[in-house]
Amino acid sequence: MAKGALWKFRRKKADREPSSATRDTPVMPEDAVPLRQLLGVATLTPAQAALLARDVIGGVEALRRLGPDGVVFDTGSVRLTSSGHVGFAPMWYDGSQRASDAAAALLDELIGNVRNGSAQRRDAVSHIERLGDANGNLTSLANRVNEVAAELLNGEAGPRVRHVRRGLGALVTASLGLERGSEDAARRPEVIQPAPAPAVMPRITKLPRSQRMPRRRIFHSRRRGRGWKVPLAAAVAAAVVVAGWWGAPRVWAELEDGWDELFGASNPPPTEIDPVSPPPESEDDDGEAGEGDGDTTDDESALADVEPPAPESAGAINEVSLEAADGTCEADQPCPVRVEVDLEPAASSRQVTWSFDVVDRCGEDVATQPGVTVTAQAGWTSVWGDSQVDVPSGTALAIMAVTESPANASSSPLLIPEDDGTC
């Protein structure tokens, strides 16, 4: 059976044809649409175009085998039904017209329609474009069409072909709906709508004065505020102002103290520690000493004050303090001490180093012993450290903590023994 739906035509008598033999156009189904009309409103996919080309070429070969007459057809004589099959309404005549030329022209129109499709189908379109390279007789053209259709439709039959044919039928149905809709609109008689009647405004009649609602002004219906609200608000505001004026300085001072406790005071109050020195001798003591036998030695003389080797504050160091950790220190014994250094706060960390000077107040000998190095972080205002000083033997000694960095400062002397001692 030939591909596509074929219709047989009744041949006219030769005596009725003055110069050529023609055949009557067969009656097509109502659901058939000319291919030219379908190509004008829809863009086919490469698979749909390949199936149409295969059906058309197969139908042309079948028509040519019916008789020796030439076949003339175009996209107007090729019809597509709602089932997706191809039918023909060709014109026949006795001449030398080549059916392959008419088929090649129809394939060119199919190729031009497919090229207007999506760019994502570029590979499939390239298969359809191979149909334009086919030349020669109808048999070679049919071979090329069957080859391209087999590549795009995965064979002669199967689910792929049925799916593509249903898609063609859906296009025909949609095209018929558009055509019938336009015909119905053209046949629909024009209905003249009557002009709307002019709107009549209802007549407003005035009510008798006895039936009118009483008029009240807006401010009459408002609830007036009480007169005591304004004085009360003023009294509350005055109380808030007085409380703020009285308590604000105190609150500010407490906040400032708390801030200083947390982050250290930027300007700590200076603290001065008087050096430890023996009490001054009175004139009576001097007189009594002068009236003696004159055998007084240097050991019994009063001891001089110990001069610190550096000032009490210098540079970033505000004060250096030294105290015995156990309360007192004794000669010829290790003495645990604590050193505390008050600093100016800095933006970066720094090292604080100190050592100990042990002074023999009788012989004025000074011995230096190593101390401690502490790293003060940014913003710190004080550091401290515990050390142990080896106290030599002697009757009158003194220990002082001397900083070496970040500045050179000294603490007050720590006397051993505490009662000043004698030489």
Q: What CATH number does residue 340 fall under?
A: 2.60.40.10
Range of the domain at 67: 14-183
- Structural domain total, the chain: 2
Q: What is the pLDDT of residue 36?
A: 83
The tens digit of pLDDT for each residue in 296-325 reads: 444 445 676 788 889 989 988 999 999 988
CA proximity to 357, closest of 394, 410, 285, 423 = 410
Q: Looking at the domain assignment, is residue 77 inside a domain?
A: yes
Residues 21 and 163 in one domain: yes
- pLDDT at position 86: 84
Domain endpoint, select from 165, 183, 201 = 183
- Spatial distance between the Cα atoms of 359 and 306, rounded to a whole number of angstroms: 8
Residue 411 domain-assigned?
Answer: yes
Is residue 287 situated within a structural domain? no
Is 403 inside any structural domain?
yes
pLDDT tens string 66-94: 654 556 666 667 888 888 888 877 655 44
What are the pLDDT digits (tens) for 276-299?
555 566 555 554 444 444 444 444
Greater model confidence, 4 or 361: 361
Q: Do 28 and 175 sit in the same domain of this protein?
A: yes
Lowest mean pLDDT among 17-31, 78-92, 258-272, 409-423: 17-31
Q: Are 329 and 335 in contact, with CB atoms under 8 Å apart?
A: yes
- Does residue 178 belong to any structural domain of this protein? yes
Q: Do the beta carbons of residue 354 and residue 372 sit within 8 Å?
A: yes
Residue 266 inside a domain? The answer is: no
Q: Round to whole Å and give the CA distance between 145 and 60.
A: 13
Cis peptide upstream of residue 406 (ω within 30 degrees of 0): yes
Of 133, 167, 183, the residue at which a domain comes to its end is 183
Point out the least confidently predicted range of 81-95, 156-170, 257-271: 257-271
What is the pLDDT, as a whole number, of residue 302? Answer: 62
Q: Is residue 398 part of a domain?
A: yes
Domain end (from 148, 183, 218):
183
Residues 177 and 318 in one domain: no
Q: Across the chain, what does the average pLDDT equal?
A: 73
Judge whether 37 lies within some domain: yes
Rounded to a whole number of angstroms, the distance between the first and last alpha carbons of the chain is 145
361 or 30, higher pLDDT: 361
The CA distances from residue 77 to 33, 80, 90, in Å, are 10, 10, 6
Over range 114-132, report the average pLDDT: 73
pLDDT band at 377 (very low <50, low <70, confident <90, very high): very high
Angle between the 46-64 and 138-153 helix axes, to the nearest 10 degrees?
150
- Indicate which CATH number applies to the domain containing 84: 1.10.510
